[in-house]
Chains A and B, each alone.
Chain A
């Protein structure tokens, strides 16, 4: 057996963090430091470990676990995202006292599962790593105080999630029966056209259903707005961002199987188009900010497919880069949402009225987030979409690229209505609690807004990393 711990530094660091949280959740001694005080530093250490492990490369555990440029890139994204999500959740008003250590424990396990997912090179491992990260979320969502919405969101997420994973597992059995292996490297050498192996194609389609559920791609998007609305703002910030990274990394890995022109690839492209159109049209009618962001993430799932179906290293790199940009943009928007709703309520659009007067910094950060989600320069959203479009153009799915451009136009209306409410509507919210104006709140908002702008102005270093990761996949 080959198990080189030096290759597993980020995972080990995360596991250590989880182990400490586990002990702390069991025995809240009088001298221990509260979890939300030390954890941001711990998460920062994990991020440092992920940076240190960025160039690791190797195959572990009988080739079921692959450490390569792609996995390390995503592990860094997960670690960084986890760090921000933890910071965001340190002041969670709707979480009961005494449950903080447990809350962070499950958040950590979920991120750990996503790290394992990034390295899985075998379908059963991949499925289990995904389950590990979802099981933790099943627990986190109903933890919002004692509200009905929280319970409703939790039940919906568990039931739909269980059905989606059951379908996924059933599909896995078809793949096993038809191709007699679950190793992606071996599967990539097989013929995946309908004419050659219909059963395998059916199996893979069913297997992908589970991934699409996590990604909230049409027609598996229905849970998304309800769950975001029901979960607390901080939990929604996590659920909306990092699991999407996991789904994208799986799809990027499976891109070795999904050549352009195959029936299944075309089906994914169609789902992408429907997803972006449907998500954007539904988002137009929303009043609740989190519901709107939910439908927006359905649309963004559609955008990511543009890079996936192109079948080139640049396309996969663009998808990976866009996933990272999506995470940063959404963490920024949710950060502002969580800081404006200091009492943990759900924000409606009119709650944002006059935000520029009450908190100019948060209003500006929200503006940057909204511009990035639309995809306007100089934000990261623009560069992400540009990479997607240039990578996918002339690889057989030009209609998909056109659909992306049209959809970005539809999306302008509702994203900019966030800015319109924050800047131009008169302030009538005197009775509502004032937004959090502490250095912590403003600093986080400024840092995330800066990250969104920097990724948009100098995307090259990260994008080149992503291209290198994509190249590695094509050998």
Chain B
């Protein structure tokens, strides 16, 4: 990798990590959500580095533009309590255990990846959008359609469970 690429990688990495800690650590739900938005933007940056601008724009459009805004609306409508159980700062041992658990997968996987790097391209190849679309509509058409069924079922399930709560 060239120097600008390494600098960009470091920048996106920082955005992701800071965003993560903000998302998990802040007491206010709105702030946590801003952290999540930062993380998602950082990931979009990583897609740009991988020469996948379409993925990056979709990431911003869908995750930041739609899903996070939706969560903001849900927060607003649910009027989450600022001093609920979750808002109290977690005791230090629990924070320690949580960080340890979060590090564990990385600690297990990183040595394997460093010791056995996979053969890879030096520069990310350019995948035309038309190829991507054809793949989705041919080889992967069944999963593509199944995703919509999964979404339908999760929505229907959410409606069924929330209805139950409302007439309590």
Contact = CB atoms under 8 A, between A and B. Distances in A.
Interface of A: 1, 61-62, 64-65, 96, 99, 102, 105-106, 109, 116, 122, 124-125, 127-129, 131-132, 135-136, 138-139, 142-143, 146, 177-178, 197-199, 202
Nearest to A131: B150
24 contacts: A1-B141, A61-B142, A62-B141, A64-B139, A64-B141, A64-B143, A99-B160, A102-B160, A105-B156, A116-B146, A124-B143, A125-B143, A132-B153, A135-B153, A136-B153, A139-B153, A143-B160, A146-B168, A178-B118, A197-B118, A198-B115, A198-B116, A199-B118, A202-B112
Given A122-B142, A125-B143, A138-B157, 5 more contacts: A61-B142, A135-B150, A136-B153, A142-B161, A177-B118
B113 interface: yes
A199 B116 contact: yes
Contacts of A199: 112-113, 116, 118
B113 A128 contact: no
Nearest to A121: B142
B21 interface: no
A202 B114 CA distance: 13
Contacts of A122: 140, 142-143
B5 interface: no
Nearest to A127: B143
A64 B150 contact: no
A139 B160 contact: yes
6 tightest A-B contacts by CB?
A139-B157, A128-B146, A198-B116, A124-B143, A64-B142, A61-B142
Interface in B87-124: 109, 112-113, 115-116, 118
A134 to B, nearest CB: 10
B26 interface: no
Contacts of A61: 141-142
Nearest to A109: B153
Interface string B124-168: 000000000000001111110011011001101100110010001
A77 to B, nearest CB: 21
A25 to B, nearest CB: 8
A405 B154 CA distance: 42
A125 B146 contact: yes
A124 B115 CA distance: 28
A142 to B, nearest CB: 6
Contact of A129 (B116, B146, B161): B146
Contact of B150 (A1, A96, A132): A132
Contacts of B146: 116, 125, 128-129, 132
Contacts of A65: 142
Interface residues of B, number: 24
B112 A198 contact: yes
A129 B143 CA distance: 8
A146 B165 CA distance: 10
Nearest to B147: A128
The DSSP consensus for interface residues of chain B is: helix
Contact of A62 (B112, B113, B138, B161): B138
Contacts of B150: 128, 131-132, 135
A101 to B, nearest CB: 10
Contacts of A139: 153, 156-157, 160-161
Nearest to A103: B160
Given A199-B113, A202-B109, A64 B140 contact: yes
A158 to B, nearest CB: 10
A283 to B, nearest CB: 28
Contacts of B147: 128
Nearest to A106: B157
A229 to B, nearest CB: 20
Given A128-B150, A202-B109, A135 B157 contact: yes
A430 B118 CA distance: 69
Contacts of B168: 146
Nearest to B120: A177
A22 to B, nearest CB: 8
A62 B145 CA distance: 14
A132 B146 CA distance: 8
A159 to B, nearest CB: 14
Contacts of A99: 160
Contacts of B153: 106, 109, 132, 135-136, 139
Contacts of A202: 109, 112
B71 to A, nearest CB: 16
Nearest to B157: A139
Contacts of A62: 138-139, 141
A219 B112 CA distance: 22
A136 B140 contact: no
Interface centre among B116, B118, B140, B142 (most CB of A within 10 A): B142
A136 B157 contact: yes
A99 B142 CA distance: 31
A1 B115 CA distance: 43
Contact of A132 (B109, B118, B149, B156): B149
Nearest to A199: B118
A116 B147 CA distance: 13
Interface in B9-27: none
Contacts of B149: 109, 132
A116 B153 CA distance: 15
Nearest to A132: B150
B112 A135 contact: no
B50 to A, nearest CB: 12
